Amino acid sequence: MNKNISDNKNDLSIKILVTYHKKDALLKNKVFTPINAGRKIAKENHNPDLKWLTDNCIGDDTGDNISEKNLMYNEMTSIYWAWKNYDTLGNPDYIGHFHYRRHLCFMDSDKSVLEMDNIGKNYIYRQLGFDEKKIQRLCQEYDLIAPMPQWRNSAYEHFERNFDIEELETAINVLKEQYPMYYQSAKEYLDDNKLYFCMSLIQI
């Protein structure tokens, strides 16, 4: 990771999107921003949690959006929304993403996964170790903050066991034919047994 952000930038603006599609424990403060992925579909299908989602989350169905494609792209519709409507978030210096039930933990630990049964009132601060100043310091030092790797046979085999491998093969072929500069890096990752799932925090 590159340490290329000036040390005198003491007040980095940071937003971490927390993607929801149903009612759950709410992670919300100055940094954590709940977003309802697939809001357009939730409205059309009369999602029973729509009121809770509307009261507590921004929707991914405003501005330039692909909310109606949520069944195909899942939480990617909320990330797309953030990309295309960045000014609505206040143009933060860093943006991150959590799934409503998968979160980066900022506590010191040698475990790559911590499982918790209950999310209480102080979960953000006690179990996740969230501290805005600490996160700002980390963002001053690093361009990207990612979870610890998890080990599998390979990324390719993990995808093959859980999804339609033809979809991945199509993506690999597109890279090889149209974006050869990325193909080798993609192949190295897919052949590797260290996988990085779910969340990240990245410099914009």
pLDDT of 36 over the 70 cut: yes
Which of 203 and 64 is assigned the larger pLDDT? Answer: 64
The whole model's pTM is what? 0.74
Lowest mean pLDDT among 67-71, 92-96, 132-136, 147-151: 147-151
pLDDT of 7 over the 50 cut: no
Q: Taking CA 73 as the corner, what is the angle to CA 168 and CA 138, rounded to the nearest 5 degrees? A: 90
CB atoms within 10 A of CB 202: 14
- Average pLDDT estimate for 176-204: 80
CB atoms within 10 A of CB 189: 14
CB atoms within 10 A of CB 126: 11
Q: For position 198, what pLDDT does the model report?
A: 62
Q: For position 6, what pLDDT does the model report?
A: 38
Measured CA to CA in angstroms, residue 172 lies from 54, 81, 157, 185 at distances of: 38, 25, 14, 11
Lowest mean pLDDT among 32-41, 83-92, 113-122: 113-122
Do the Cβ atoms of 50 and 42 come closer than 8 Å?
A: yes
Cα(121)–Cα(83) distance, integer angstroms:
30
Q: For position 133, what pLDDT does the model report?
A: 84
Residue 5's pLDDT band (boundaries 50, 70, 90)?
A: very low
CB atoms within 10 A of CB 103: 23
Q: For the segment 59-111, what is each residue's pLDDT rounded down to a tens digit?
A: 999 999 999 999 988 899 999 999 999 999 999 998 988 888 777 777 776 76
